[in-house]
Chains A and B, each alone.
Chain A
Amino acid sequence: MLVTLLLVLLGGGLLCLALDRFRPEAARLVSLLTLVVAALILASLAPLGPASAGPGNAWLAYVQMPWIPRFGISIELGLDGLSFLLLVLTLALGFIAVSASWTEISFRPGLFQANLLWTLAGVVGVFLALDLFLFFVFWEIMLVPMYLLIAVWGHEARAHAAYKFFIFTQVSGLLMLLAILVLAWTARTTGQALSFSYFDLLGQAPTGQLGMAIMLGFFIAFAVKLPAFGVHTWLPDAHTQAPTAGSVLLAGILLKTGAYGLIRFVLPLFPESSLAFAPIALGLGVAGILYGAVLAFAQDDFKRLVAYSSVSHMGFVLLGLYAFNALAQRGAVVQLVAHGISTAALFMMAGALQQRLHTRDMRKMGGLWQQAPRMGACALFFAMASLGLPGLGNFVAEFMVLAGLFAEHPITAALAALGLVTAAIYSLSLIQRAFQGPDNDQAKIDDFGPRELTTMAVMAAALLWLGLYPQPVLDLARIAPPLSLSGLSP
């Protein structure tokens, strides 16, 4: 089933590509249909009963077949609660991305949809792969269609943004490849055959300096993707220049692969080095929260503001994971989902505005509420979600992270809590400048139509559900990683 899921997405992409020649408008339908099929496959794997597959009977689904026996590399895929949660998010945002690109893309729509589906396939692969080599392959290969999305369909400065995005992630990826190889070869010297399987490498990490160096190789790759403070500079450019659907995918799920890597690989494979590294990671998290928030406030570009707010929000994920506290770690998982939805919605809003006004500059907006009240209401809702209004998903996540963190590191938690205040400032200023105030724009703009309204409503409902009844998500995060979250809490 897991392989089928990947093949469906890849095949759907090929079909879109084939349609590009003669029926380009049919491609988006095919794309939608592909996602429906993928969603059905995923639904058939839903964690209704106890997990019973794979090593330790801890996986919902598990498959392994040889790929490159020379290096002990196999196609090893596994689905647990955490992967399931993130796959649901991935496919949901896939729908949103298709919806966002429905009318926006006029150049080669078939190829666009193909790249969209291939990016999703890469991300799904990342969330499923349990062989480190396979994981790396998915990790790198998902960048290629994403690069194409930015470089071909992006906005005015797309070349620069696409280079920066690709080079940051590739170079950090090479460090991870090196780390994976060193880990596998050192594990081999202890007697077993060369293997890249997650299960064979668990508990094999060398201690001391070498262990720390290998851990850093992984951490840097994931921190770039997350992004952590200091290596985040690719993010504002890439998010701003990408087409709307690309921004949705980037912010909604590609950033999550970094967090997923930390949860799945760094913490379980290198428990000791991670513990020793925790203070630095927490520092990076706090710095990211505050720095992202301050820069978000200073932006005039709608998308850039949202991009910097992502840096700030993802800081909470880093804090949650390195707090080494069960509550905070589960909060981080909720944050992944909540941030994915709320940011995707804000990017879609930005895309809708750009399509209507041909600008993302908030100095040229203002007073839009009078012309487009439905857009204004949606924007206000998601701005509230982003600033952490109780009752919405982001509040639950950030509260859990802060509560868990406070038990371990009160001062860090106090500093991070400032992030909630600054989030209120930049979110409200966004609404104020774009939708309130005097009407700057003479031209009449169209309000949201049914397609856009439905998309927004679904995302709003998801955030409300996450805010009012987060228990199912918390449960998934708990059954999820037998070794990653619960096993590590001191």
Chain B
Amino acid sequence: MNSGMWQALSPLLALSGGTVVLMLQIAFHRNPRWSVAITQLSLLLGAGLLLWLWPGSDYQSLLLRVDGYALLLNLLFILAAAVTCWLSPAYIALRSEQSGEFFLLLLLATIGAMILAQAVHVASLLLGLELLGVALYALIAYPDRSLLPLEAAVKYLVLSGAASATLLFGFALAYAGTGQLAFTGLSESLALAGSGAYTLVMAASVMIICGLAFKLSLVPFHMWTPDVYQGAPSPVTGFLATVSKGAVFAVFLRAFLETGAYQFPIILNSLAAIAVASMLVGNLLALRQDNVKRLLAYSSIAHMGYLLIVLLVCSDPANHDLAVEAALFYLVAYTVTTLAAFAVLTWPGYEQYQGPEHTELKHLSGLLWHHPLAGLLMLVAMLSLAGIPLTAGFVGKFYLFSAAVTGPHWLLLGSLVVGSGIGIYYYLRVVYYLLRRDDNHALLPNAGWHESCLAVVLLAAVLGLGIAPQSLIGWIQSIL
């Protein structure tokens, strides 16, 4: 219990303290404004502490490691949580009796995601994953005035539970094979393991990959994605799509590198198959969606497939730094862009009805003319997801291309090109709806300064990362 440890854990402690305060506030004096303020303050405090730790921190315990990688991702998750918190109050107030606990759950989920980014041990991985997952079940089911969120939450709960069980069994097998649970320990005993242990460990790896692939909604574990995306309240969907997936990918990448899993052809081949399948299936299924949230769900399947390329590039140890760099940039770009898209879908004026959400494509019709700022944000988000230059998404895709051309990954590159090509069609469909000028819009959104501020910030982030990516690249490089 030295001071270095307290420093390194201070962001986590700040958020944990925030949850306690928030819980007491809800118990003694319910007031949604206070809840939002406490949440935002603890997020702000957490972000401040992260920046204070930057960049020299490299604290390692048995369970957690607070290095630059974890700090950068934690900052990203905290910012994403802050955006979600900024978006939610009006939405939740319309759709549920009480809104205080929503923010409590949001803080807990964020803590889970932060732990995942720091995890270097199977136990902390599970701890983070379950904290994130359990909070998400409740977040998804939070609106109590319609059935769709409940259905989505049950679906997510059952499937996610099965995935966690698979994951746990995988860890048990790995422990049986090597007697280790820490990532680095696994790596050492893998090198020494005999052929009997090899079989056990490979079986374990496949189960672990399946469990994590479920959380990342990779093909063929993607079935839950569209339903949960559609059923969950839009701000939560944005959180799920960015923070939850980002955190799981973060721990996946760290485990993949530190356990030395990249040396085994079986693992690499199965990951390559999953990546190619995700890119193609995700994009193909997105083609015929008329609901924007379902469309984004399938698109996220494809994007996670693109991101898997990074893992395969790691098969050559010389590329590890480039791969991590590409993954971090891509995650940041993807998070910012996806949040932008969901911010438009949550736009409170757009959601004035308490009934089902208005997220069909036809509801976006003519948005650019009726509400230029929201329309522009959606337009830029779609272009960024499609990977058009001068947006964050393009630089991310450029990173993936750069990483993949360093080795003989022609199949992956081919799928990336084909997938992106298909993707352009459905992103353009959304853009086309935004631009339609023939029908009259019944729901004229009215933007307050609250939404406009956020829209401007997100717009600036997506375009800024696309036009001047060097500052973020410099940041990322400084921590590798």
Q: Which residues of A contact B (CB under 8 A)?
A: 67-71, 107-108, 136-137, 140-141, 144, 147-148, 151-152, 159, 162-163, 166-167, 170-171, 174-175, 177-178, 181-182, 185
Contact yes or no, A68 B425, CB < 8 A: no
For B470, give the chain A residue with the smallest CB separation. Answer: A68
Inside 8 A of A140's CB, which chain B residues have their CB?
Answer: 388-389, 394
Whole-angstrom CA separation of A379 from B431 in the bound complex: 37
19 A-B pairs with CB atoms under 8 Å apart are A108-B369, A137-B390, A140-B394, A141-B388, A141-B390, A144-B383, A144-B388, A163-B425, A163-B432, A167-B421, A170-B424, A171-B421, A174-B417, A174-B420, A174-B421, A175-B417, A177-B401, A178-B413, A185-B406
Kindly state whether residue B349 has any CB partner on chain A within 8 Å: no
Instruction: For A159, give the chain B residue with the smallest CB separation.
Output: B432
In this assembly, does B477 line the interface, its C-beta being within 8 Å of a C-beta of chain A? yes
CB closest chain-B residue, reference A68 = B470
Contact with A along B425-446 (1 / 0, CB 8 A): 1001001100101000000000
Note all chain A residues with C-beta closer than 8 A to B431.
151
- Report if B469 contacts A (CB, 8 A): yes
B453 at the interface (CB under 8 A from A): no
Does chain A have a CB within 8 A of B473?
A: yes
List CB contacts (< 8 Å) of B424-480 with chain A. 424-425, 428, 431-432, 435, 437, 469-470, 473-474, 477
Is there an interface contact between A137 and B421, defined as CB atoms closer than 8 Å?
no
Which residues on A sit within 8 Å (CB–CB) of B437? 107, 152
Nearest chain A residue, comparing its CB with the CB of B406: A185
Main secondary structure of the interface of B (DSSP, over half): helix
List chain B residues, Cβ under 8 A from A163: 425, 428, 432
* A181 & B402 in contact (Cβ 8 Å cutoff): yes
Do A167 and B425 touch (CB < 8 A)?
yes
Query: Which residues from chain A contact B421 at a C-beta distance below 8 Å?
Result: 167, 170-171, 174
The size class of the interface chain B forms with chain A is 20 to 34
User: Is B405 part of the binding interface, using a Cβ–Cβ cutoff of 8 Å?
Assistant: yes
CB-contact partner of A177 in B398, B406, B435, under 8 A = B398
Give the shortest distance, in Å, between A322 (CB) and chain B (any CB).
Answer: 26
B47 to chain A, nearest CB (A): 25
Flag if A178 contacts B401 (CB, 8 Å).
Answer: yes
Separation of A181 and B417 alpha carbons in the complex (Å): 13
A175 to B431, CA, bound (A): 23
Q: Closest Cβ of chain B: how far from A10's Cβ, in Å?
A: 11
Q: How far is the CB of B155 from chain A (nearest CB, A)?
A: 34
Q: Could you list 6 further interchain pairs (A-B, Cβ under 8 angstroms) beyond the known A69-B470, A140-B388, A152-B435?
A: A137-B390, A144-B383, A163-B425, A166-B428, A167-B424, A181-B398
Taking CB atoms, residues of chain B closer than 8 Å to A181 are: 398, 401-402, 405
B473 touches A70 (CB 8 A): yes
Task: Output the least CB separation between B447 and chain A (Å).
Answer: 16
Cα of A47 to Cα of B352 in the assembled complex, Å: 62
- Are B473 and A68 closer than 8 Å at their CB atoms? yes
Out of A68, A108, A141, A167, which one reaches B428, CB within 8 Å? Answer: A167
The 5 A-B residue pairs with the shortest CB-CB distance, nearest first, are: A171-B421, A137-B389, A70-B473, A140-B389, A174-B417
Shortest distance between the CB of A16 and any CB in chain B (Å)? 15
Closest partner residue, chain A, to B395 (CB atom):
A68
Q: Which residues of B contact A136 (CB under 8 A)?
A: 389
Contacts of B420 in A (CB 8 A): 171, 174
B-chain residues with CB within 8 Å of residue A177 when the two chains form the complex:
398, 401
Q: How far is the CA of A147 from the CA of B388 in the complex (A)?
A: 13
A6 to B425, CA, bound (A): 30
Q: How far is the CB of A128 from chain B (nearest CB, A)?
A: 16
Cα–Cα distance between A174 and B420 once the two chains are bound (Å): 8
Quote the shortest CB–CB distance from A182 to chain B (angstroms): 5
Task: Report yes or no: A171 in contact with B398, Cβ–Cβ below 8 A.
Answer: no
Cβ–Cβ < 8 Å partners of B469 in chain A? 68
Complexed CA–CA distance, A148 and B432 (Å) = 9
Q: How far is the CA of A170 from the CA of B389 in the complex (A)?
A: 11
Chain B 210-254 residues near chain A, CB threshold 8 A: none
**B421 CB to nearest chain A CB (Å):** 4
Give every chain B residue within 8 A of A108 (Cβ-Cβ): 369
